[in-house]
Amino acid sequence: MSDSLPPLKRYRREEDEEKSASEDDENYVPYVPLKERRKNAFTKLLRVSKHQVDEEEVEESSEVVGPQAKVSLLDQHNVLKKKAEAHKESEKDKQLEEEKRILQNISETRALMAVGELAKGVIYEHSIKTGWCPPRCVLKQSSAKCDEIRHKWHILTEGEDSPPPIKTFQEMKFPHHLLAALKKKGITHPTPIQIQGIPAVLLGRDIIGIAFTGSGKTLVFVLPLIMFCMEQERKLPFQSNEGPYGLIICPSRELATQTYEVIKFYTNALSSQSYPLVKTVLMIGGLAVRDQAESVRRGVHIVVATPGRLMDMLNKKIMNLEVCRYLCLDEADRMIDMGFEEDIRTIFSYFKQQRQTLLFSATMPKKIQNFARSALVRPITVNVGRAGAASMDVIQEVEYVKQEAKVVYLLECLQKTHPPVLIFSEKKAEVDDIHEYLLLKGVEAVSIHGGKDQEERQWAVREFKDGRKDVLVATDIASKGLDFENIQHVINYDMPGDIENYVHRIGRTGRCGKTGIATTFINKTCDESVLLDLKHLLMEAKQKIPPVLGNLESQNEDYLELGDERGCSYCGGLGHRITDCPKLEAIQNKQTNTIGRKDYLASSAPDW
């Protein structure tokens, strides 16, 4: 038994083993590692979802590059390029969105309106009515013809019902004695800003006039105002204590004086030909209040003022704006930039009725245009060239000069051209130093800055204007609006902190069709951001780029021309966007630092 049992047992076992092996063969599931299982599940899922997702998504999920793709390298390159571009586009959209948000955050919540109007919620819907209308031949012009004229003169208008452009002073219906006075100044044909701007102002429209330096903006607001005042005087002569009818505000005493002199020239020419006398008063600091008050007491049509003295006269009730119907802010953006915003608000609050409001400048960033619009009724924006562009009649040269070598190099630089030459520096003390140095070297020089008394300032400007002095050294006080005849050369002893100030400084030369040179000293003390703005401004004006600027690259070079806005919408610089604007950052830091302080500590008066 013991012999037979084992084989039987063995047999059975073998049989069992075979059986179980054959059974296992049928249901055999080999072990699959977890990683593999996950991968399989994933491909299964992909296969299912393949029917649901659209074509584009499939393409993205099945992204295969390299030799296995069975697609030519060129096609693969195109696909990748398309993807990169799409990504970039979405980045650009994000940037635009961000910029919009910033611009909204910094835009003024308080409108630029009189308090009475704000309190009562008065909103004007119609422009001021005037007694002027275009001549029939102009009225007959089709809108296509108007567009053709605008196109020819590079005039861009924005706003409802753009008035027609008018190509001659005769067709603007100015009296022939005024035309004769213009001719005496060598003015026979209107400039582009005058072609479009003067008809708009004569029709009573509010305008924002933007045109490069020296393009004749002054006459756009001066000539219609003189006509309006003569019309008023004819209808109902101004009595004592009446007026003004028109108010012109300028950022500096020198510019106010110059504008006053331009007005006086034309009003005197007209009154000498038996036209009604239009009375004008110059209201600036540094002159006796008594004399200005006396002129106002006798009745006045036009006041040309700087904000400080004007506020003073209004606060003391020496003058009021009850019949004032015409307000012009010359170099408007500069004025707001210089910290006169609050003063301008206060001045607006003295108006008692609707007025025609005009703003002019060569630089007008979007932020200020938006802010100014709250003060305007159905405004027309007249643009000749890009706001903030430099005059094409200025040859711009930029030189790297070490700080310690500047003064000596200045003498060499002065020999580049004949006089008159203007030298700018940001600091009052530096202006004094340069002036002293030039006098020591025998150069016929004068200087002006805000630290000097008015008499000295007036004397210096007069000497320079009349050609008795060859060189004027000045702070930025002389950079806005001043119209010295035939300036040959502007030297920027330093690069201004703002590119807009640079545009205004060099705009003292190359005026009204003449050409001029501007030389700017730069070195490593200059802020890189403003140098980038300078580089792009030079590129725009097709000027030579010095290697030191050529090597500078903006971090966001691709974004500089985004949307319909070039460069920064806050400061107008072409070398950066609003998201990297150093000026905005500085202002915001300053605001944060002054939160909670008393007003008198938060003064933002410029150094000059």
Interacting partner of 187 out of Mg ion, ligand ADP, none (Cβ under 5 to 8 A depending on kind): ligand ADP
Contacts to ligand ADP from residues 203-242, by CB under 6 A: 211, 213-219
- Select from 481, 507, 516, 567 the one that contacts Mg ion (CB under 5 A): 481
Number of residues that bind ligand ADP (CB under 6 A): 19
Q: Which is closer to Mg ion, CB of 424 or CB of 493?
A: 424
Judged by beta carbon, residue 217 or residue 505, the one nearer Mg ion is 217
Q: Work out the number of other CB atoms within 10 angstroms of the CB of residue 488.
A: 18
Closer CB to ligand ADP, 111 or 512, in the complex: 512
User: Is the C-alpha dihedral spanning 156, 159, 161, 167 positive or negative?
Assistant: negative
The residue within the footprint of ligand ADP, chosen from 179, 187, 287, 293 (CB under 6 A), is 187
319 neighbors 296 (Cβ within 8 angstroms): yes
In the list ligand ADP, Mg ion, none, the entry touching 214 (Cβ below 5 to 8 angstroms by class) is ligand ADP
Tokens of 227: 């006509």
Q: CB of residue 125 vs ligand ADP: minimum separation in angstroms?
A: 31
Distances 75 to 62, 65, 79, 80 between C-alpha atoms, Å: 15, 10, 6, 9
| 364 in Cβ contact with 333 (< 8 Å) | yes
Binding mask 496-535 for ligand ADP (x = CB under 6 A): ---------------xx-----------------------
Per CB under 5 A, 516 contacts Mg ion: no
Q: Does 197 bind ligand ADP (CB under 6 A)?
A: no
Beta bridge partners of 448: 474
Neighbours of 319 (CB within 10 A): 27
Helix pair angle (528-540, 499-506), 10° resolution: 50
Instruction: Find the shortest distance in angstroms from Cβ 216 to ligand ADP.
Output: 3
Q: Is 385 in the site for Mg ion (CB under 5 A)?
A: no
For Mg ion, which is the closer residue by CB, 210 or 568? 210
Nearer residue to Mg ion within complex by CB, 205 or 217: 217
In the complex, what is the shortest distance from the CB of residue 424 to ligand ADP, in angstroms, rounded to a whole number? 16
Partner in contact with 66, chosen from Mg ion, ligand ADP, none, beta carbon below 5 to 8 Å by kind: none
Is residue 478 involved in binding ligand ADP (CB under 6 A)?
no
Q: Which of 88, 184, 185, 590 binds ligand ADP (CB under 6 A)?
A: 185
Sign of the Cα pseudo-torsion (405, 408, 413, 414, in order): positive
Q: Give the DSSP letter string of 509-535.
A: SS-TT--EEEEEEE-TTS-HHHHHHHH
185 binds, among Mg ion, ligand ADP, none (CB under 5 to 8 A by kind): ligand ADP
CA 298 – CA 320 distance, rounded (Å): 14
Closest CB 481 distance from ligand ADP, rounded Å: 6
CB 321 within 8 A of CB 247: yes
Q: What span, in angstroms and rounded, lies between the C-alpha atoms of 232 and 206?
A: 19
Instruction: Please choose, out of 128-136, 196-204, 317-325, 474-482, the segment that lies near Mg ion by the rule CB under 5 A.
Output: 474-482
Residue nearest to Mg ion (CB): 481
566 torsion bin: left (phi>0), alpha (psi -120 to 50), beta (else): beta
Give the Cα separation of 476 and 492 in Å (integer): 10
Task: Answer whether 313's CB lies under 8 Å from 292's CB.
Answer: yes
Strand-pair category, 489-492 with 516-522: parallel
- Distance in Å from the first CA to the final CA of the chain: 128
Region from 159-167, 180-188, 438-446, 449-457 binding ligand ADP, contact rule CB under 6 A:
180-188
What is the SS3 assignment for 420? Answer: coil
* Binding residues for ligand ADP (CB under 6 A): 185-187, 189-191, 194, 211, 213-219, 481, 483, 511-512
- Summarize as ranges the residues that interact with Mg ion (CB under 5 A): 217, 481
